[in-house]
């Protein structure tokens, strides 16, 4: 579970960490936003149970990974290919949570022959195409600030880092958590889960808010590929009580792709779905359900 560094052919460094079964079948886990490689720790136990080697990279500019100027979503498969070669993974599973979802889609399009399964939980949508109407109001506010007052967005992200250092049962975190649904609040009341989620957010800001904002810019830009061209089977999971990213986005994306399985869970939220139902999600990806 030690942090590791890969020196890419570009000369940039890519940080990653491994969990689960060291001798297992590789599964690349793509973290959410704002988060980092440490989020993959939530998959450690299920990885050991099902013989999966969980490999969680930081995206460029996040955590231990160097910033990549002018980065696009379509650049990711080449980075992943180098990481896969480095860890000896010829074929592998991929899974993305929230902001990691688009990276699953980019990988599925470019590396179809190497993918054993592709799963997205509560995935971020192509906002330039589908619009912002189903986004959490906090995210909509951030998008507006990014365009008209980016320095203020940076200050808010720094303030968020400070606020998350508190305890979930005390202000201001208690107030922030009230914006989430009941199941999300329940899941995040567990100290271990909360500390992993918080640790990902803190690590995302290791290099300052500018890097986190640059990571978010990927979602606000053109993806440089059409989702409808992806013919890899994609397993989509989303909770209908997700207040961060509406399940309607996943429904719209599913309608665009020729091969999907869809799982809309009535009472689950953005955090509760991938945490409460992780084993079920993994079993489905492995064809065991």
Domain ranges of the chain: 4-285
Retrieve residue 25's tokens.
């079948």
Retrieve residue 107's tokens.
């990988």
pLDDT confidence of residue 155: 72
Whether 127 shows a pLDDT value over 90: the answer reads no
When pLDDT is averaged across residues 71-84 and rounded to a whole number, the result is: 97
* Distance in Å from the first CA to the final CA of the chain: 29
pLDDT confidence of residue 146: 79
List the strands of the sheet with 260-265, edge to edge.
4-7, 13-20, 52-57, 25-30, 92-97, 115-121, 234-239, 260-265
Q: Assign 167 a pLDDT band (cuts: 50, 70, 90).
A: low
User: pTM of the full predicted structure?
Assistant: 0.93
Whether 88 shows a pLDDT value over 90: the answer reads yes
Q: What SS3 class is residue 51?
A: coil
In terms of CATH architecture, what is 4-285?
3-Layer(aba) Sandwich (3.40)
pLDDT confidence of residue 144: 78
Alpha helices by DSSP H, listed for the chain, are: 44-49, 76-87, 101-110, 127-130, 137-148, 150-163, 173-177, 182-188, 191-204, 209-220, 247-256, 272-276, 278-285
CA distances to 142, 242, 248 from 135, rounded to whole Å, are: 11, 10, 10
Give the residues across from 249 on adjacent strands.
none
Whether 129 shows a pLDDT value over 80: the answer reads no
């Amino acid at each position: 579970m030690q942090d590791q560094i890969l020196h890419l052919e570009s000369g940039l460094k890519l940080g990653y960490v491994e969990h689960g079964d060291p001798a297992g079948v590789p599964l690349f886990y793509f973290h959410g936003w704002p988060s980092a490689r440490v989020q993959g720790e939530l998959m450690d136990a299920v990885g050991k149970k099902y013989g999966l080697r969980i490999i969680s990279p930081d995206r460029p500019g996040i955590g231990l990974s160097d910033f990549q100027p002018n980065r696009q979503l379509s650049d990711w498969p080449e980075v992943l290919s180098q990481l896969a070669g480095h860890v000896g993974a010829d074929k592998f599973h991929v899974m993305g949570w929230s902001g990691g979802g688009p990276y699953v889609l980019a990988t599925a399009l470019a590396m179809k022959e190497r993918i054993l399964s592709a799963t997205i939980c509560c995935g971020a949508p192509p906002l330039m195409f589908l619009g912002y109407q189903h986004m959490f109001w906090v995210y909509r506010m951030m998008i507006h600030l990014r365009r008209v007052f980016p320095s203020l967005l940076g200050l808010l992200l720094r303030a968020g880092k400070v606020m998350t250092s508190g305890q979930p049962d005390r202000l201001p975190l208690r107030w922030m958590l009230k914006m989430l649904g009941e199941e999300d609040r329940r899941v995040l009341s567990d100290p271990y889960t909360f500390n992993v989620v918080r640790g990902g957010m803190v690590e995302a800001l290791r290099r300052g808010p500018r890097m986190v904002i640059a990571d978010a810019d990927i979602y606000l830009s053109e993806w440089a590929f059409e989702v409808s061209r992806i013919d890899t089977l994609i397993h989509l999971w989303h909770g209908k009580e997700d207040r961060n990213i509406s399940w309607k986005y996943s429904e719209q994306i599913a309608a665009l792709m020729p091969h999907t399985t869809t799982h809309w869970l009535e009472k689950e939220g953005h955090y509760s779905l991938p945490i409460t139902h992780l084993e079920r999600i993994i079993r489905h990806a492995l064809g065991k359900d």
